[in-house]
Amino acid sequence: MSSASIVKDRGLRAWWSRSERKVVPYVFISPFYILFIVFSVGPLIYALYLSLHRWPGTGPMRHVGLGNYTYLAGDPVFLKSLWNTVYYAIGAFLFILPLALVLALLINSTLIRIKSLFRIGYFLPILTSTVAATIMFLLIFNNEFGLINQGLASLGIPALKWLDEELVKISVLAIVTWRYTGINVLYFLTGLQSIPPELYEAAQVDGAGTWAQFRYVTIPQLRPIALFVGVVTMIGSFQLFAEPLLLANGGPNDSSLTIANYLYRMGFTNAKLGYGSAIGWVLALIIFGLSFIQLALFGAFRKED
């Protein structure tokens, strides 16, 4: 080794021992940012670019300006999928959240002693994959031999067509409610258990009854958790995919189709990559917009007082 390279080596070592602690954190966090830029930011921008073009996946792209977006606004199937998705989101709010809150309140109350049986029991459905969960319900909702219709028949009630246009969305919502109620019970329970007991004691001293305590202590104290649960439920409902696909193939007559299902159909089945990307961006804007509204409604942007 020449003396010059020894000096250089020493210099490098000295530099490293001086700067290791400054450089190392960037090295440690870099895998995330590299992957995030390559696999999220890049595709996000590329999706915007694609959405301004007509492209079947191979060959040249044709610039169409906002053509895909204006076409979307008048596409009856897209509008149907948008309505269906909104229906699922509203349904999730109306079915899952009140049910989960009531169950959590009951489990948390002094009336109930065997709490963990219910906590754990309600939780189990979230462990299934969306595919396995939907498959289970094929035997529940089948128009001819589903368990519900068999049950109705044994009571002498005529069968209902659970997978036909009128009821299929309710069936999808039932699967979603089944799968997600338990996890929301846990969220609410976490919220309820973090309410300081002194607040209830103080309310009792002030002569508040059970209802007044619920109204003036429990509800306001649950605000942060309610915001979290609301945002998660909304984002989840707007990205429903497997349940309508496997239960009814998005049908009949697109009556259970979600935005995600339609995006998949356009982008992958029909190879309209530009159009599919436009659907994706509309979906993102809806999700961002609704998240923002929820945060604003719950006062998350207000300064703590």
Q: How far is CA 275 from the centre of its chain?
A: 23
Task: Report, in Å, the least distance between residue 269 CB and other proteins.
Answer: 11
Nearer to other proteins, 3 or 21 (CB): 21
For 195, left (φ over 0), alpha (ψ -120 to 50), or beta? Answer: beta
Q: Which of residues 99-118 bind other proteins (CB under 8 A)?
A: 99, 102-103, 106-107, 109, 111-112, 117-118
Nearer to other proteins, 144 or 198 (CB): 144
Select from 56, 224, 289, 299 the one that contacts other proteins (CB under 8 A).
224
Spell out the residues 6+ positions from residue 159 whose beta carbon is closer than 8 angstroms to its own.
143, 144, 149, 152, 153
Select from 12, 14, 38, 157 the one that contacts other proteins (CB under 8 A).
38
Nearer to other proteins, 194 or 202 (CB): 194
Task: Report, in Å, the least distance between residue 105 CB and other proteins.
Answer: 10
Task: Report, in Å, the least distance between residue 293 CB and other proteins.
Answer: 14
Spell out the residues 6+ positions from residue 157 whose beta carbon is closer than 8 angstroms to its own.
none
Nearer to other proteins, 4 or 211 (CB): 211
Both structure tokens of 41: 């930011």
Site string for other proteins, 59-98 (x = CB under 8 A): ----------------------------------------
Q: Using only the alpha carbons of the chain, give its radius of gyration.
A: 27
Q: Which of residues 232-271 bind other proteins (CB under 8 A)?
A: 232, 235, 238-239, 241-242, 245-246, 248-249, 259-260, 263-264, 267-268
Site string for other proteins, 118-157 (x = CB under 8 A): xxxxxxxxxxxxxxxxxxxxxxx---xx-x--xx-xx---
Q: What is the DSSP string of 159-223?
A: P--TTSTTTHHHHHHHHHHHHHHHHHHHHHHHHHHTS-HHHHHHHHHTT--HHHHIIIIIHHHTH
Residue 219 contacts other proteins per CB under 8 A:
no
Nearer to other proteins, 151 or 299 (CB): 151
Q: Which residue type is seen at 7?
A: V
Instruction: Decide if 203 contacts 212 (C-beta within 8 A).
Output: yes
Instruction: Decide if 152 contacts 159 (C-beta within 8 A).
Output: yes
Site string for other proteins, 3-32 (x = CB under 8 A): -----------------xxx-xxx-xx-xx
Q: Which stretch binds other proteins (CB under 8 A): 2-10, 77-85, 185-193, 195-203?
A: 185-193
DSSP label at 61? -
Select from 9, 14, 15, 42 the one that contacts other proteins (CB under 8 A).
42
Rounded CA-CA distance 82/139 in Å is 28
Both structure tokens of 257: 């189709």
Nearer to other proteins, 87 or 265 (CB): 265
Rounded CA-CA distance 293/290 in Å is 5
Task: Report, in Å, the least distance between residue 72 CB and other proteins.
Answer: 14
User: 180 φ, ψ to 5°?
Assistant: -110, -5
Nearer to other proteins, 57 or 202 (CB): 57
Instruction: Decide if 261 contacts 250 (C-beta within 8 A).
Output: yes
Give how far Cα 170 sits from Cα of 80, 148, 162, Å: 16, 13, 8
